[in-house]
Amino acid sequence: MRVHIATDHAGLELSHALIEHLSAQGYEMVDHGPQSYDPLDDYPGFCIAAAQAVVADQEAGVDALGIVLGGSGNGEQIAANKVPGVRAALAWSEATAKLAREHNDANVVAVGNRQHTIEEATRIIEWFLAEPFSGDERHVRRIGQIAEYELERG
């Protein structure tokens, strides 16, 4: 699976740790930045680029998901969700990570580095990446309703 990752300065250490850890587990990691610490960086561009890459890969039939990181994960989730076709979910536990995939077919996970240790955040992301979408009709229908609204508003 290809995994696109982006962060702001608050998540940079976690991003580097995840790239190393997930690469060792066989994931193809694509880093959308930033590459170095800048406390004044602007995360939206990094997160939007990662989200766009997830959508492009999925449209091309590539098995891909995304990770966006920040202090809380909220702003990064908001930025990613501006990309048509993205369903970014803020995850803070095993249940929220798994349900985001199982029920919502989320294709991007947002995690707040200042809310978790690196070990906790890594587990949350591993749960997200490992959980398949259930494909249940009710979830497919609801996701379709969201996508329809997105297209109408586009």
pLDDT digits (tens, 9 = 90+) for 9-20: 999 999 999 999
Q: Side chain identity at 87, as an amino acid letter?
A: R
pLDDT at 66: 99
Q: Is the pLDDT of residue 132 over 90?
A: yes
Per-residue buried b or exposed e for 84-102, using 16+ beta carbons within 10 Å of the residue's own CB? eebbbbbbbeeebbbbbbb
pTM for the full model? Answer: 0.97
Strand partners, 16: none
Q: Name the residues annotated as catalytic.
A: 76, 103
User: For 56-72, what is the mean pLDDT?
Assistant: 98
Segment 99-112 shows an average pLDDT of: 98
